[in-house]
């Protein structure tokens, strides 16, 4: 049976872990061939060995613009073309509060979370234009790209900027049939949790289980997210079913950014009663 992505060629950055790994697995199951760019070479080699026909792993530091260009070219030389660019690699970056944030800390956080997404847009769009085809660009932003306070300042700034890239891409690329959409995950249980908070790698799974319990209620839907929750949305955006979607900024967060945590609505009604009773 044909999958939703049969015949498509995708690049997925950060494909060795978490959301990226779930996306590689789902894209392949749906019929795509995938070039994975990451810096975890052991995991990348294992992934390629799992899917020898459908996955090629390329060591790619996404903070290096030329390396992202080379990753796109590897996808093309190995699989013949490019249809989908998923700019997913990212990291917590510098956790300093604003008053202590250094230029170096901000730059480092922007390089991995924002500049990488810009490079992905540029190199994918050049390839799509050369092919004379459209294409789908997907970027992982964050709930922290929609609201302050989810993370530290540098990450919040970096993820808000990802949304700016997507909107500018619509202005420049839509006439070429190139779509660009962003996914804004809520709290998803992936190894980034352990790495961002300095928990040793070997305790990562245990830490995720602990966090999943502790933070289930951050999302109105009553649980934290799973990598597959995000991969499913990415697969849809990659597919032809989404051909009229571009510029969408999609929260995939169990409702977390849809409602305020303030109880103003209820409190104001009670305050009004109190006021009118006087």
Nearer to ligand NAD, 168 or 195 (CB): 195
Could you list the residues that contact ligand NAD (CB under 6 A)?
Answer: 13-14, 16-20, 37-40, 60-63, 88-91, 112, 140, 142, 185, 187-188, 190-192, 195
Q: Write down the least CB distance from residue 70 to ligand NAD, Å.
A: 13
Q: Write down the least CB distance from residue 187 to ligand NAD, Å.
A: 5
Nearer to ligand NAD, 32 or 71 (CB): 71
In whole angstroms, how far apart are CA 37 and each of 7, 73, 89, 99, 224? 20, 12, 8, 34, 27
Cα separation, 8 vs 239, in Å, equals 9
Cα separation, 148 vs 157, in Å, equals 9
Nearer to ligand NAD, 80 or 220 (CB): 220
Q: Write down the least CB distance from residue 270 to ligand NAD, Å.
A: 35
Pairing of strands 249-252, 84-87: unpaired
> CA gyration radius for the chain?
20
Question: What does the angle CA 98 – CA 181 – CA 158 come to, to the nearest 5 degrees?
Answer: 15
Nearer to ligand NAD, 38 or 94 (CB): 38
In whole angstroms, how far apart are CA 81 and each of 32, 65, 176, 252, 266? 12, 20, 16, 29, 55
Kindly give the residue spans of alpha helices, DSSP state H, lying in 174-199.
192-197
Cα separation, 117 vs 111, in Å, equals 9
Q: Write down the least CB distance from residue 232 to ligand NAD, Å.
A: 14
Q: Write down the least CB distance from residue 112 to ligand NAD, Å.
A: 5
Nearer to ligand NAD, 37 or 135 (CB): 37
- Nearest Cα neighbor of 68 from 87, 52, 47 is 87
Active site residue 57: no
The residue from 79, 86, 155, 173 that is catalytic is: 155
> Would you name the residues annotated as active-site residues?
155
């Amino acid at each position: 049976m044909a999958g939703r992505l049969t015949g498509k060629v995708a690049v997925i950055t950060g494909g060795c872990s978490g959301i990226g790994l779930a996306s590689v697995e789902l894209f392949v199951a749906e019929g795509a061939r995938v070039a994975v760019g990451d810096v975890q070479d052991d995991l990348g080699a294992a992934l390629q060995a799992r899917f020898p026909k459908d996955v090629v792993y390329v060591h790619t530091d996404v903070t290096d613009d030329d390396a992202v260009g080379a990753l796109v070219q590897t996808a093309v030389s190995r699989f013949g073309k490019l249809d989908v660019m998923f700019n997913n690699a990212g990291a917590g970056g510098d956790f300093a509060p604003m008053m202590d944030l250094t230029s170096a800390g901000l730059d480092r956080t922007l390089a991995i979370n924002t500049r990488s997404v810009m490079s992905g847009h540029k190199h994918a769009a050049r390839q799509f234009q050369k092919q004379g085809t459209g294409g789908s660009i997907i970027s992982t932003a964050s709930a922290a790209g929609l609201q302050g306070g989810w993370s530290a300042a540098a990450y919040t700034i970096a993820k808000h900027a990802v949304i700016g890239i997507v909107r500018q891409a619509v202005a420049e690329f839509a006439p070429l049939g190139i779509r660009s959409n962003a996914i804004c995950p809520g709290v998803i249980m992936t190894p980034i949790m352990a790495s961002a908070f300095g928990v040793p790698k070997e305790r990562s799974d245990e830490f995720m289980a602990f966090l999943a319990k502790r933070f289930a209620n951050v999302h109105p839907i009553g649980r934290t997210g799973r990598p597959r929750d995000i991969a499913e949305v990415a697969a849809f955006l990659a597919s032809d079913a989404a051909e009229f979607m571009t510029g969408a900024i999609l929260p995939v967060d169990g409702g977390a950014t849809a409602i305020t945590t303030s109880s103003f609505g209820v409190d104001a009604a009670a305050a009004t009663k109190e006021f009118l009773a006087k």
